[in-house]
Amino acid sequence: MNESSKSRYFLAELLMNCLLFAVSAAVCVAVLAHANIAGKKSAALSMAVSEAQNVAESVKASKGEPQLLGTLLDTKESDGVYTLLYDENWQRLFDGSDAVYELRAVVNIDDNMLQSDISVADGEGAIYTLRVLRYLGAEKGESV
């Protein structure tokens, strides 16, 4: 076998392997991108649950007093709706610029029952929703 034939075989092998690697890399990159998106979504869900729970406890602690709830959430009320904005790292935004996530808490009192519908959403839609009820007619004992 002469040198020219050897080089031809080597080149064919090299091309074949390059093609195989390119196909495998394309599949793997697509799967990794999918895993990355899924990871970001699960992180967003965890944070949304945590923030919604925090607001729910603040709503319960406020006992339906709008001013106290506004102080606890560090935001202003507008027709019984409290809006909290967050950036992509879940840091609170107070001016509304570059907000990625929005938490809305709709609070109302109906027949001595404090109700609050809390929803956390991003640009694509709702991530998590929570409904909180608190009966205001009962006094709070020491153990609760």
Partner 1 sequence: MKKRRPVVSIGIVSLITVFSILILAVFTVLSLSGSRSDTALSETAARAVSDYYAAEAEEEQKLKELSAIAESDAEIPLEKRLEAAGFEIEKDNNYPGTVVIYNTSVDGRRMLVTKVGIGEQGVVERLYRQTISTGQ
The residue ranges that bind partner 1 (CB under 8 A) are 1, 5, 9-10, 12-14, 16-17, 20-21, 24-25, 28, 31-32, 34-36, 38-39, 41-43, 45-46, 48-49, 52-53, 56, 111-113, 128, 130-135, 137-144
Backbone torsion region of residue 55, taken as left when φ is above 0, otherwise alpha when ψ lies between -120 and 50, otherwise beta:
alpha
> In the complex, what is the shortest distance from the CB of residue 66 to partner 1, in angstroms, rounded to a whole number?
20
The tokens describing 99, both together, are 């907000």
> In the complex, what is the shortest distance from the CB of residue 19 to partner 1, in angstroms, rounded to a whole number?
10
> In the complex, what is the shortest distance from the CB of residue 126 to partner 1, in angstroms, rounded to a whole number?
12
| Separation of alpha carbons 83 and 108, rounded Å | 15
> In the complex, what is the shortest distance from the CB of residue 84 to partner 1, in angstroms, rounded to a whole number?
18
Nearer to partner 1, 21 or 87 (CB): 21
Nearer to partner 1, 24 or 71 (CB): 24
Nearer to partner 1, 96 or 137 (CB): 137
Nearer to partner 1, 53 or 83 (CB): 53
Q: Which long-range contacts (CB under 8 A, 24 or more apart) does 61-64 make?
A: 63/114, 63/134, 63/136, 64/107, 64/109, 64/114, 64/134, 64/136
Q: What are phi and psi of 95, to 5 degrees?
A: -110, -5
3-class SS at 85? strand
